[in-house]
Amino acid sequence: METIAARGEADVFVGLIERHLDPAYRLARAILLADQEAEDAVQDACLAAWRERRSLRDHARFDAWFDRILINRCRDRLRVRQRQRVRAIALEGQAQWRHTMDMGAADSELDGAVDDLDPDHRIVVLLRFWQDLRLEDIAERLDIPLGTVKSRLHYALRAIRSRLEATDGRA
């Protein structure tokens, strides 16, 4: 039989998850570029978070902890997609972060440039410009050193610029 303490822990955890579902879906959608995959990734992340709930030491840090789990699930899906050579659909909500990057490219050109990035680089770009996270927060969410975040962002932006310049040269 379930104890009162266990039921209380479950209620707190469910409350944290429910509060974070919408932002989690938006993040997964931005990374995966597909509604159904984003829903599946969020569901997988919720299940994984429940299984790993004992590793959450500070409920105030839930967002970063859960985002790390979600990003890992999205990264796994992107790797599978790359192996299967499935082309992702364009993200309707990308205009929100596109202006922050301000590279002067047409939407479809920028979509293609971001879509061509490898998963690790795409995730860093989306977290930085779409979610407007500080580099330190990205490092925490991805559980990687700050220098790695800076490096990935640098190389991702360089790749995007190169692709956009090549596209401009063809026009």
Can you tell me the mean pLDDT for 8-16?
83
CB burial readout 113-148, b (16+ within 10 A) else e: bbeebebbbbbbbbbbbbbebeeebbbbbbebeeee
Please, what's the largest Cα pairwise distance for the chain? 69
Higher pLDDT, 85 or 42: 42
CATH number given to 91-171: 1.10.10.10
Show me where the domains of the chain are located. Answer: 1-89, 91-171
**Of the options 1.10.3720.10, 1.10.1740.10, 1.10.8.50, 3.30.70.120, the CATH number for the domain spanning 1-89:** 1.10.1740.10
User: Residue 109: what pLDDT?
Assistant: 81
Q: What percent of the chain has pLDDT over 90?
A: 43
pLDDT tens digits for range 44-99: 999 999 999 888 888 888 999 999 999 999 999 988 877 665 444 444 444 444 44
pTM summary value? 0.68
Q: Name the burial class of residue 20, with classes exposed (0-12), middle (13-18) and buried (19+) by CB atoms within 10 angstroms of its CB.
A: buried
1-89 and 91-171 have identical folds:
no
Residues in the chain: 171
